[in-house]
């Protein structure tokens, strides 16, 4: 297992290097003069020179690449063009909020999705099955920014209540903090719950038809034991794959949902950075999120062995 993990981490190196390369040449891809685009009107020549130097536009891309990688190894992801502050500390304050929402949404989405999928499979072609499936298809079709907006707007119009839009940090008051991120996480989890439900229904139906399930039933196990102990674990591998693939999507979704619920996570930081063309910030966000998703994929791959001991980690 450890050897497999080490092998996979080494295998990630080229991907991380490509990611960093893309982040570095990003600025070269801007059509026209990037500095002109960023400068306020009548900016001083000194400011212009400082900006050019900060973006490293005077240097060829390979040198900037080496510098960026070296800086990253020292924990330096560059400075914001506007606040002149280093990007990393600010990011480390915000990234946890976004990842917290995304992970909470993953937990809720998979739990609800699997539960509904299993119920749907056990009650195949009954009213319950149809009801759950219809809701799931609707859940896939509604964009999460629309759901988020409606969750904010409609209770206020119908019942005159609005969700608290003032953010509270975890260290300030963990309970209130949880209450505040719960609603965005719930909104974000809907899409995932719907796709997990559809997939776990399909795989459960597949597994339930197999011989060992009949054996388990024949030897007199209670149906809950058969479902959870025998069927579920074997039906989970495709579901885990799906969930792993969706983590990247959920982080993107979190950016949108955060902006609706006014939560100071990565979303608002990124949107501000984009408005201000603050390239070092955008670069750092791209690099950090890409690496996080790669890490999640590694964990997902390793979890297969736990679900199915037949899968050898080599």
Partner 1 sequence: MAAEVTQNRPIPTITITSRAGDALSQLGKAARKKPMGAAGAVVLVLLVLVAIFADVVAPYPALEHGPTPLAGPSSEHLAGTDQFGRDILSRVIYGARTSLYVGVAATVVSMVPAVLLGMTSAFFGGWYDYLLQRFVDTIQALPGLILLMTIVVILGSSLWNVIFALSFNRAIVGSRVMRGATLGVSTATYVEAARACGATNVRIILRHLLPNIVPTIIVVYSLGFGTVILAEASLSFLGLGVPPPTPSWGGMMAADGRAYMFAAPWMLWAPTIALAVVVFAVNMFGDAIRDLLDPRLRGTR
CA-wise closest residue to 223 among 119, 88, 129: 119
Cβ 153 to partner 1 shortest distance, Å: 5
Cβ 45 to partner 1 shortest distance, Å: 25
d(CA 256, CA 145): 6
Cβ 76 to partner 1 shortest distance, Å: 21
Residue 63 or 153 having the CB closest to partner 1: 153
Residue 65 or 216 having the CB closest to partner 1: 65
d(CA 96, CA 158): 34
d(CA 159, CA 10): 55
Cβ 15 to partner 1 shortest distance, Å: 5
Residue 141 or 164 having the CB closest to partner 1: 141
d(CA 239, CA 206): 13
Cβ 146 to partner 1 shortest distance, Å: 5
d(CA 81, CA 54): 8
Cβ 27 to partner 1 shortest distance, Å: 8
CA angle 132, 198, 232 (to 5 degrees): 100
Residue 14 or 309 having the CB closest to partner 1: 14
Residue 157 or 224 having the CB closest to partner 1: 157
Residue 43 or 271 having the CB closest to partner 1: 271
Residue 200 and residue 113 in contact, taking contact as beta carbons nearer than 8 Å: yes
Cβ 110 to partner 1 shortest distance, Å: 15
d(CA 271, CA 264): 11
CA angle 89, 94, 100 (to 5 degrees): 135
Q: Which residues bind partner 1 (CB under 8 A)?
A: 14-15, 18-19, 22, 26, 29-31, 137-138, 140-143, 145-146, 149-150, 152-154, 156-157, 195, 198-199, 202-203, 238, 242, 248-249, 251-253, 255-256, 259, 270-271, 274, 277, 282, 285-286, 289-291, 293-294, 297
Q: Write out the two tokens for 104.
A: 């909470």
Residue 299 and residue 291 in contact, taking contact as beta carbons nearer than 8 Å: no
CA 282, 283, 288, 290 torsion-angle sign:
positive
Residues in contact with 283: Cβ distance below 8 Å, sequence separation at least 6, in sequence order: 23, 24, 26, 77, 78
* Partners of 79 in the β-ladder: 86
Residue 82 or 249 having the CB closest to partner 1: 249
In 3-state terms, what secondary structure has residue 72? helix
Residue 145 or 170 having the CB closest to partner 1: 145
Cβ 223 to partner 1 shortest distance, Å: 25
């Amino acid at each position: 297992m450890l050897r497999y993990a080490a092998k996979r981490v080494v295998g990630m190196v080229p991907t991380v290097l490509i990611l960093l390369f893309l982040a570095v040449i990003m600025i070269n891809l801007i059509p026209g003069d990037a500095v002109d685009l960023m400068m306020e009107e009548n900016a001083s020549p000194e400011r212009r020179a400082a900006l050019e130097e900060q973006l490293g536009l005077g240097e060829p891309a390979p040198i900037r690449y080496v510098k960026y990688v070296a800086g990253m190894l020292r924990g330096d992801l560059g400075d914001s063009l506007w606040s002149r502050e280093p990007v990393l500390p600010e990011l480390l304050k915000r990234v946890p909020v976004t990842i917290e929402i995304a992970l909470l949404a993953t937990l809720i989405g998979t739990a609800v999705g699997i539960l509904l999928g299993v119920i749907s499979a056990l009650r195949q072609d009954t009213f319950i099955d149809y009801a759950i499936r219809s809701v799931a298809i609707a859940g896939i079709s509604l964009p999460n920014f629309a759901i988020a907006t409606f969750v904010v707007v409609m209770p206020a119009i119908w019942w005159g209540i609005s969700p608290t839009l003032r953010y509270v940090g975890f260290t300030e008051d963990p309970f209130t903090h949880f209450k505040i991120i719960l609603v965005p996480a719930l909104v974000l989890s809907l899409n995932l719950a719907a796709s997990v439900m559809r997939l776990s229904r399909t795989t459960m139906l597949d597994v339930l038809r197999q011989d060992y399930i009949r054996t388990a039933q024949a030897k007199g196990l209670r149906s809950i034991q058969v479902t959870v102990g025998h069927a579920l674990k074997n039906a989970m591998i495709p579901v885990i794959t799906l969930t792993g693939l969706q983590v990247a999507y959920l982080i993107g979704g979190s950016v949108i949902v955060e902006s609706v619920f006014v939560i100071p996570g990565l979303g608002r930081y990124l949107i501000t950075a984009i408005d201000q063309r603050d390239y070092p910030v955008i670069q750092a966000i791209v690099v950090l999120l890409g690496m996080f998703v790669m890490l999640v994929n590694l964990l997902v791959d390793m979890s297969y062995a736990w679900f199915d001991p037949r899968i050898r980690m080599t």
